[in-house]
């Protein structure tokens, strides 16, 4: 380690300062904070739950406390309010924290909760509005579906950079990942052409934006009367992509009446009979199910009086082929 | 000064651990179903919180 050129101290040219604390811009800084939070939470009796390094759970005297870490944002969940205040006090003693009280917006997700009715709605309405504004589609005519049925797209010879195709795909992907499973297939398809898009790709993305315009207030709604058990649904089309003859899988996991996990994937290999493509879809679904189930099981097995039930997950696959 | 970078010391990937969106949604759904409380806090000056144990 040397002093930077031009800033060498004439009295002590060989000496450098040793940094004892992380600073902004330092590669390690974010990891160091996580290590510190991890130490702190474990010293408070929290256990890290396996599939997610940022999820901590504490069962104490019939109470359940969950801490979810999103870098410097902490989501605190507890079965009783006093437990939340306890953990906040402990955090205050150790860190400088800003208390945002009850969650209204987390990571851009708007959360509306009606405690009397027992419903919770997650939506991205404000962000969707901003996206339409950015791409000059705020006043467009809404349309009922995100893509034309059976639309086949091929790579264009050269991309025209005049229209912000990539930016539009990126913005819509953000919506899709947050609260919009209905966009998964359209975005999955269109994002394969970010380096080779042409006229028809741009027309397709415009259609998705028009669809978003007509469904801006849509989101995920949980109703406490729904059955709180994890259920998977998976389906594969067969050789849906005419160029490569590979199949596309769509999947969703429903929990308490709302989708919690979803996606649309082009298979990695070609399936010969339809049955094979369904089996491939099922195998992928099982991997996701194992991961999701760990979380639900670890809460459900505590014998708490909650609406959450554990047990095996049903995965529904169309196998009529 | 890319040519002066030393491997491991300078080109470490920046790593910020975050929870999966799916996990966040699961937790939110459980909260609503069981009528639990859900609060949010934010660590101030997050980056200044780590103690370094290696020389930088």
pLDDT digits (tens, 9 = 90+) for A208-254: 999 999 988 888 887 776 666 777 787 778 777 777 888 888 888 88
- A255 contacts B48? CB cut-off 8 A: no
Check CB contact of A41 with chain B, cutoff 8 Å: no
Q: Pick from B12, B14, B19: which is nearest to A54 by CB?
A: B19
- Chain A residues 170-229 within an 8 A CB cutoff of chain B: 177-178, 220, 222, 224, 226, 228
Selected for mutation to probe chain B from A3, A4, A54, A221 (highest B CB count within 10 Å) is A54
DSSP line for A24-64: TT-TTHHHHHHHHHHHHHHHTT-EE-TT-TTEEEEEETTEE
CA separation for the pair A32, B50 (Å, rounded): 5
CA separation for the pair A70, A78 (Å, rounded): 17
- Determine the pLDDT at residue A68: 86
- B16 contacts A84? CB cut-off 8 A: no
- Name the residue among A108, A190, A116, A180 with its Cα closest to residue A148: A190
User: Which 8-state DSSP code applies to residue A181?
Assistant: G
Query: Who contacts B14 (Cβ-Cβ below 8 Å, separation ≥6)?
Result: A27, A30
Q: Please give the residue of chain A at the shortest CA–CA distance from B24.
A: A68
- A107 contacts B24? CB cut-off 8 A: yes
Check CB contact of A267 with chain B, cutoff 8 Å: no
Q: Chain A closest CA to B1's CA: distance in Å?
A: 11
Rounded to two decimals, the ipTM of the complex is: 0.75
What pairing do the DSSP bridges indicate for beta strands A230-236 and B37-43? unpaired
Q: Chain B closest CA to A27's CA: distance in Å?
A: 5
Report the largest interatomic distance among the alpha carbons of chain B, rounded to a whole angstrom.
Answer: 57
Q: Which two tokens stand for residue A54?
A: 């940022």
Check CB contact of A316 with chain B, cutoff 8 Å: no
CA separation for the pair A243, A266 (Å, rounded): 12
- Determine the pLDDT at residue B50: 64
- B38 contacts A102? CB cut-off 8 A: yes
Check CB contact of A88 with chain B, cutoff 8 Å: yes
- Determine the pLDDT at residue A304: 54
Residues of B with CB under 8 A from a CB of A: 10, 12-52, 54-56
Selected for mutation to probe chain B from A39, A40, A77 (highest B CB count within 10 Å) is A77
Q: B45: which chain A residues are within 8 Å (Cβ-Cβ)?
A: 96
Q: Give the pLDDT band (50/70/90) at residue B1.
A: very low
- Determine the pLDDT at residue A18: 74
The burial class, CB within 10 Å (0-12 / 13-18 / 19+), for A101 is exposed
- A55 contacts B33? CB cut-off 8 A: no
What pairing do the DSSP bridges indicate for beta strands A219-223 and A119-123? antiparallel
- A21 contacts B51? CB cut-off 8 A: yes
Q: What is the pLDDT of residues A65-79, one digit of tens each?
A: 888 888 778 888 888
Q: Give the pLDDT band (50/70/90) at residue B10.
A: low
- Determine the pLDDT at residue A208: 92
Residues of chain A with pLDDT under 70: 24-25, 27, 159-162, 225-228, 300-311, 319-321
């Amino acid at each position: 380690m040397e002093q930077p050129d031009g800033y060498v101290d004439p009295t002590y040219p060989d000496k450098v300062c040793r940094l004892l604390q992380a600073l902004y811009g330092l590669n390690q800084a974010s990891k160091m904070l996580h290590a510190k939070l991890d130490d702190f939470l474990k010293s408070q009796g929290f256990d890290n739950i396996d599939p997610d390094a940022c999820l901590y759970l504490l069962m104490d005297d019939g109470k359940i406390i969950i801490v979810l870490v999103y870098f410097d944002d902490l989501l605190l969940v507890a079965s009783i309010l006093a437990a939340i205040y306890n953990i906040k006090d402990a955090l205050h003693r150790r860190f400088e924290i800003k208390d945002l009280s009850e969650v209204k917006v987390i990571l851009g997700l708007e959360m509306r909760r009606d405690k009397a009715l027992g419903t919770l709605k997650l939506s991205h309405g404000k962000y969707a509005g901003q996206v339409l504004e950015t791409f000059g589609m705020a006043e467009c005519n809404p349309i009922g579906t995100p893509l034309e049925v059976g639309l086949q797209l091929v790579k264009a010879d050269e991309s025209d950079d005049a229209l912000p195709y990539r930016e539009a795909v990126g913005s819509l992907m953000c919506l899709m990942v947050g609260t919009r499973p209905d966009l998964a297939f359209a975005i999955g398809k269109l994002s394969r052409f970010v380096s080779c898009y042409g006229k028809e790709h741009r027309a397709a993305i415009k259609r998705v934006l028009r669809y978003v315009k007509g469904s801006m207030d849509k989101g995920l709604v949980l109703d406490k009367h729904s059955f709180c058990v994890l259920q998977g649904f998976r389906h594969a089309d067969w050789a849906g992509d005419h160029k490569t003859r590979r199949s596309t899988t769509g999947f969703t996991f429903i929990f308490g009446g709302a989708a919690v996990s979803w996606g649309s994937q082009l298979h990695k290999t070609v399936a010969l009979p339809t049955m094979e493509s369904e089996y491939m879809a099922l195998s992928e679904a099982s991997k996701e199910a194992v991961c999701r189930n760990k979380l639900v099981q670890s809460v459900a097995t505590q014998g708490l009086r909650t609406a959450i039930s554990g047990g095996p997950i049903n995965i529904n696959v169309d196998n009529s082929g | 000064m890319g040519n002066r970078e030393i491997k491991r010391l300078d080109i470490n990937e920046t790593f910020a651990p975050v929870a999966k969106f799916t996990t966040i949604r699961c937790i939110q759904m459980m909260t609503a179903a069981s009528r639990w409380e859900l609060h949010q806090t934010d660590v101030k000056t997050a980056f200044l919180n780590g103690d370094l144990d290696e020389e930088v």
